[in-house]
């Protein structure tokens, strides 16, 4: 937020939201600054954050100041971003997380020591939890209080300023609505134990997920990382500190991600070093090797679904290709105040979730979301498309992927699960692996990739130099017969 990034369409201001949570007053502040100090484009990111595009030259300082005063910046007092002690397992009632408090009395710019420290604290706030944490009836553990402790740790330990701004952590409570295909440097996932809940953890990957294959669960080597050990919930913040300290101890200066360290150090050596920071043993029983997380269901981000508390629901919709304008964000804030808990939760699928909606109000809320232009059903074409900023916003992009995605939406076969349009090989819009990717090779032309479960990256290139119309035809053939390209 304090370091505006230059792009082809102007500056980009990235706003990191603790747990994806945005209070309605903060939503209105974002809408205001996007309107007054930028071109009005607001994007939900694939980490459940927001960014404002097209920040006008000379407006950077006042934009940052206004957002900080709305409580959206890193917390210089280093208080928990989410309140409360370590939560009980989900069978108990846990209090709602509080909003981040505004802690800057005066504006700061990156040119001052205080602002540079704040900017560094902002950089390391890369912790993902489920957007339905605390509400999901399938959750094993309410992760919100633990997330607050980890966020406070990330911002309070001066040494963590050396971590890459892309170094990321996942704290998974076992929710059914969860992003478990997005690789993280460190992941932690709740697992049921005979007497309680433990948190399994792994490095540089994703939690292993149970999949139906010949009647048994299996590991997917392209996606899953086997659990290395487990800890008690109360030990999670200490473990996170130990793993990050160990990474900084062992990594070379050019090793910015955990996968780089694992290329030169075995996982066992990393665990042995981490143990020196711990006053408790890591749990490593035989059952851990067989543990698999229950499958998640990303379609639950759409429509209305019951929450853990009887008579309440979560209601979700997705703005077209993850983009909002100020009017839409203000309207969403009003809906959340009228019918929900006065919060909006951004998801890593670039959608928005409203929580604590009375069950008898869900139809009205869905109608209002639809009227705003949000997609509220998983089968709709725009629910199955992802596109990067494209050549109108990014100098590296080979094509206008946003416009191409809108064109493809009118042609997309119903049987195609998801298509990712990327303007270059960096794949900024999709951290997870989509079944199909259209990679731009020239303005208006794309190579089509298909990925099977055990393939990394974009998968196999099955067609070259396609127009959007040709891509739609090829996708239709592939949907009818996966061997026909």
pTM of the model: 0.89
Confidence band for 211, pLDDT divided at 50, 70 and 90: confident
pLDDT of residue 118: 60
- Given the candidates 3.30.300.180, 3.30.70.3340, 3.40.50.1240, 3.30.1300.10, the CATH classification of the domain at 308-376 is 3.30.70.3340
Same fold, 74-290 and 383-480: yes
Tell me, rounded to whole angstroms, the distance of Cα 272 from its chain centroid: 30
pLDDT of residue 74: 77
* CA separation for the pair 49, 346 (Å, rounded): 6
What is each CA distance from 391 to 163, 350, 436, in whole angstroms?
30, 20, 21
pLDDT of residue 429: 86
Any idea which of 127-141, 218-232, 352-366, 437-451 has the lowest mean pLDDT?
Answer: 218-232
pLDDT of residue 98: 32
**What SS3 state is found at 191?**
strand
Q: Which residues 6+ apart lie within 8 Å of 125 measured at CB?
A: 16, 18, 74, 81, 151, 154, 155
Phi, psi (deg, nearest 5) at residue 128? -105, 135
Q: Say which DSSP state 159 is in.
A: G
- Is residue 235 scored above 80 in pLDDT? yes
DSSP letter for each residue of 193-237: -SSSEEEEEEEEEB--B---BTTB----TTTB----EEE-GGGHH
- Is residue 1 scored above 50 in pLDDT? yes
Q: Where are the alpha helices (DSSP H) in 251-372?
A: 258-262, 267-275, 287-290, 326-339, 362-371
**Number of helical (H) and strand (E) elements in the chain, helices listed first:** 12, 20
* CA separation for the pair 13, 6 (Å, rounded): 9
pLDDT of residue 194: 80
Say if CB 53 and CB 7 are below 8 A apart: yes
Domain regions of the chain by residue span:
74-290, 308-376, 383-480
pLDDT digits (tens, 9 = 90+) for 420-472: 999 999 988 887 778 999 999 999 999 999 987 666 678 899 999 999 999 99
Two structure tokens written together for 312? 């309440």
pLDDT digits (tens, 9 = 90+) for 315-374: 999 999 999 999 999 999 999 999 999 999 999 999 999 999 999 999 999 999 999 999
pLDDT digits (tens, 9 = 90+) for 13-61: 999 999 999 999 999 999 999 999 999 999 999 999 999 999 999 999 9
* CA separation for the pair 396, 472 (Å, rounded): 25
CATH of domain 383-480: 3.30.413.10
Say if CB 39 and CB 10 are below 8 A apart: yes
Which residue is it, tokens 């794949």? Answer: 427
Superfamily of domain 74-290: Sulfite Reductase Hemoprotein, domain 1 (3.30.413.10)
């Amino acid at each position: 937020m304090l370091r505006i990034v230059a792009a082809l369409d102007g500056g980009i201001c990235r706003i990191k939201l603790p747990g994806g949570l945005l209070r309605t007053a903060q939503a209105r502040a974002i809408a205001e600054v996007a309107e007054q100090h930028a071109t009005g484009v607001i994007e939900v990111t694939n980490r459940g954050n927001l960014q404002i595009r097209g920040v006008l030259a000379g407006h950077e300082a006042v934009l940052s100041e206004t957002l900080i005063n709305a409580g959206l910046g890193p917390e210089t007092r280093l208080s928990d971003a989410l309140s409360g002690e370590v939560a009980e397992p989900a069978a108990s009632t846990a209090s709602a997380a509080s909003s981040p408090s505004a802690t800057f009395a005066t504006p700061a710019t990156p040119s001052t020591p205080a602002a540079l420290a704040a900017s560094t604290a902002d950089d390391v706030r890369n912790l993902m939890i489920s957007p339905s944490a605390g509400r999901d009836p399938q959750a094993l553990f309410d992760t919100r209080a633990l997330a607050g402790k980890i966020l406070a740790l990330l911002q309070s330990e001066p040494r963590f300023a050396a971590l890459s701004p892309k170094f990321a952590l996942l704290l998974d409570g076992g929710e059914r609505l969860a992003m478990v295909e997005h690789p993280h440097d460190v992941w932690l996932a709740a697992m049921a134990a005979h007497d309680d809940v433990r948190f399994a953890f792994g490095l540089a990957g994703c939690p292993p997920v149970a999949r139906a294959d010949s009647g048994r669960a299996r590991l997917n080597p392209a996606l899953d990382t086997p659990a290395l050990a487990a800890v008690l919930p109360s030990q999670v913040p200490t473990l996170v500190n130990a793993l990050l300290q160990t990474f900084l101890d062992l990594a070379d200066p050019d090793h910015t991600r955990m996968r780089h360290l694992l290329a030169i150090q075995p996982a066992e050596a990393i665990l042995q070093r981490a143990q020196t920071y711990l006053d408790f043993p890591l749990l490593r029983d035989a059952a851990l090797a067989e543990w698999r997380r229950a499958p998640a269901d990303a379609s639950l981000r759409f429509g209305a679904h019951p929450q853990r508390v009887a008579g309440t629901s979560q209601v979700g919709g997705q703005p077209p290709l993850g983009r909002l304008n100020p009017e839409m964000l203000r309207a969403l804030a009003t809906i959340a105040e009228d019918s929900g808990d006065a919060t909006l939760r951004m998801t890593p699928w670039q959608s928005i979730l409203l929580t604590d909606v009375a069950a008898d109000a869900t139809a009205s809320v869905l109608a209002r979301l639809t009227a705003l232009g949000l997609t509220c059903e998983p089968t709709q074409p725009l629910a199955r498309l992802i596109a990067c900023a494209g050549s109108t916003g990014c100098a590296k992009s080979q094509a206008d992927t946003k416009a191409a995605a809108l064109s493809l939406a009118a042609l997309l076969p119903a049987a195609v699960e998801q298509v990712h349009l990327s303007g270059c090989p960096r794949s900024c819009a999709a951290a997870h692996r989509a079944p199909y990717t259209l990679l731009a090779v020239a303005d208006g032309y794309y190579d089509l990739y298909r990925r099977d479960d055990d393939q990394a990256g974009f998968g196999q290139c099955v067609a070259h130099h396609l127009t959007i119309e040709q891509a739609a035809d090829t996708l239709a053939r592939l949907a009818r017969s996966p061997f026909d390209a």
